[in-house]
Amino acid sequence: MLFPLLLLLFICQEGKNIEVEPSETIIWGPGLKPDKITMRARYIFFQLVDSNGKKITRERYNICPYTRSDFRLHSTCFNLKLKVNVKHVSVLSMEFKGPVYEEECYCPNTLINSWLEDLQCSKNYTQIYHDLIPFNNVDFNEIREDIIKAYNRPGSVSLCHYVVKSNKIFRKCYGKYVDFKIFMDSILLSITRKVVLPDIEFFVNLGDWPLVPKTGKNYPIFSWCGSSDTKDIVMPTYDITESSLEAMGRVMLDLLSVQGNTDTPWKRKVEKVFWRGRDSRLERLHLIDISRKHPELFNVSITNFFFFKDKIDKYGPGQSPVSFFHFFKYKYQLNIDGTVAAYRAPYLLAGDSLVLKQKSVYYEFFYNDLVPGKHYVPIKSDLSDLVEKVMWAKKHDEDALEITKAARQFARDNLLPRDVLCYHVVLFNEWSKRLKSKVKVLDNMEEVLQPTHSCECYNAKLKEEL
């Protein structure tokens, strides 16, 4: 099977054709190791270089800083050939004897450290180690029933109890609204197809708000969002996880698509703050007040009224949603909390506009690695300095651009599909080391089955162990 990838030949700048130098093209990404890294979209990045040896970037030419391509498999293949042509000149030619597996194929690597090394996972997981500090020696035989009793509140809390045993997944859910279990199921199913996880037991909060007070009992609960006054163990959000698993597939928005659909150069962007969102926090209404006083600086609107329906006359009517890719026609983007942390933060960072981020008690798994003033412009939680910070950005355009580039690089280094997979596996692996009680499947648990898919596993060692 041959996957030829042809890159663009010329890039136009102010009416002049700038020629690409094929031999200097830089190529990287997990797609270059398709026999070792299984993803639905095996993506590759290309850094183009011009005939003068200079990297072609958006700031110099009217293109994306990197060109990205991907390929997908729908069945296991052998003798896969990957060829990259630039200007009809071959700059990369690779052949893989195989097998090269498709996403649904269950043939996990039996060695977790080998899998982490193949993906070149980060060595920096400060948030994981911080979150696990209170849980060094966990005995679920002592706390399991207490956790269920404390959080089995069907009207307000939805919780799932998971066990991974012999790389099979089992769960029991509690609560009235447990539909979001599909997201946890999806990442566990995907990971266990790729790598054999250690036996683990854990509870997952299916709601937005973190559950475990810092001053309360040491109950280990995995959540998609953390806060300064709770001690939940934070995972990548269901949103970025789902978009990573289905990258450039059935989801409408993912990190790779954002980087490929922001085509307005910095100098041509509208110098206003752009924001759309529902009325899930009072500060969002306050934002409308601010924008009406400074229409020259803001293009912001509420898209849906749910929490403050009594204020529609003042702050409405609700405006139609706008494609996220159109956000980046504007130079400034606002990251303001919703019910908890705004889960759009990864996509804003991956775009090529300046992010102004509200100070918040809530955080996602990567927030503590962001540096204010380097990756984003911080604003006060009550938005009282928002206008001042926008005016600063307008007066310091070069500094704003440097922050924007650093944010995008952070997203590329930490938030792409590979990174989301790595984070989950490292978290589960570290968690397994802290379990004192023997992991067992309880009688009331149901198995979460892998998709029905005919795929032969050629890993002889795995066959012997199974």
Whether residues 288 and 203 fall in one domain? no
More confident position, 100 or 13:
100
Number of domains in the chain: 3
The Cα–Cα gap between 77 and 324 comes to 36
Average pLDDT of the segment spanning 108-120: 96
> Taking Cα atoms as reference points, which of 167, 212, 226 lies closest to residue 432?
167
Q: Do you find a cis peptide bond into 213, omega within 30 degrees of 0?
A: no
Q: Does residue 211 contact residue 218 with C-beta atoms inside 8 Å? A: no
Task: Calculate what percentage of the chain has a pLDDT beyond 70.
Answer: 90
Residue 44: its pLDDT value, please?
A: 86
As a three-state string, the secondary structure of 340-383 is CCCCCHHHHHHCCCEEEEECCCEECCCHHHCCECCCEEEECCCC
Instruction: Say if residue 139 is in the same domain as residue 235.
Output: yes
Q: Within a 10 A sphere around the Cβ of 334, how many other Cβ atoms?
A: 28
pLDDT digit string (tens) for 23-81? Answer: 888 888 888 999 999 998 888 888 888 878 888 765 433 333 344 455 667 788 898 88
Does residue 288 sit in the same domain as residue 344?
Answer: yes
* Host H or E run for residue 80: strand 80-86
CA distance 463 to 461: 5
| pLDDT, tens digit (0-9, with 9 covering 90-100), for 408-427 | 999 999 999 999 999 999 99
| Co-location of 56 and 35 in the same domain | yes
> Tokens 């229409």 label which residue?
295
Model confidence pLDDT, tens digit, residues 203-242: 999 999 999 999 989 999 999 999 999 999 999 999 999 9
The residue out of 38, 69, 100 marking a domain boundary is 100
Residue 463 lies in a domain: no
What b/e readout covers 62-99, taking b as 16+ CB neighbours within 10 angstroms? Answer: ebbbbbbbbbebeebbeebebebbbbeeebeeeebeeb
Q: Are residue 266 and residue 226 in the same domain, yes or no?
A: no
82 and 151 co-located in one domain = no
Average pLDDT, stretch 306-311?
92
User: What was the pLDDT predicted at 58?
Assistant: 53
**Euclidean distance between CA atoms 150 and 145, whole angstroms:** 8
Reduce the DSSP state of residue 460 to 3 states and report it: helix
Supply the pLDDT for residue 249. Answer: 64
- For residue 309, is pLDDT > 60? yes
Q: 256 falls in which pLDDT band (50, 70, 90)?
A: confident
Q: Which domain holds residue 150?
A: 112-242+437-448
Confidence of residue 263 (pLDDT cuts 50, 70, 90): confident
Tokens of residue 92, six digits: 């990369």
| SS (HEC) of 246-291 | CCCCCCCCCHHHHHHCCCCCHHHCEEEEEEEECCCCHHHHHHHHHH
215 and 119 within one domain = yes
DSSP-derived 3-state class of residue 7: strand
* pLDDT value, residue 288: 97
In this model, does residue 128 exceed pLDDT 70? yes
Distance CA 31, CA 43 (A): 5
If one compares 44 and 290, the residue with the highest pLDDT of the two is: 290
What is the average pLDDT score of the chain? 89
Domain membership of residue 455 (yes or no) is no
Which band of pLDDT confidence, cut at 50, 70 and 90, is reported for residue 15? very low
Residue 122 lies in a domain: yes
Residue 6 has pLDDT above 60, yes or no: no
In this prediction, residue 456 carries a pLDDT of: 84
- Looking at the structure, do residues 263 and 390 belong to the same domain, yes or no? yes
The dihedral built from the CA positions of residue 228, 341, 393 and 316, taken in this order, carries a sign that is negative
Residue 18: the pLDDT is 65
Using alpha carbons, list the distances in angstroms from residue 81 to 20, 194, 400.
24, 22, 43
430-452 pLDDT, tens per residue?
999 999 999 999 999 999 999 88
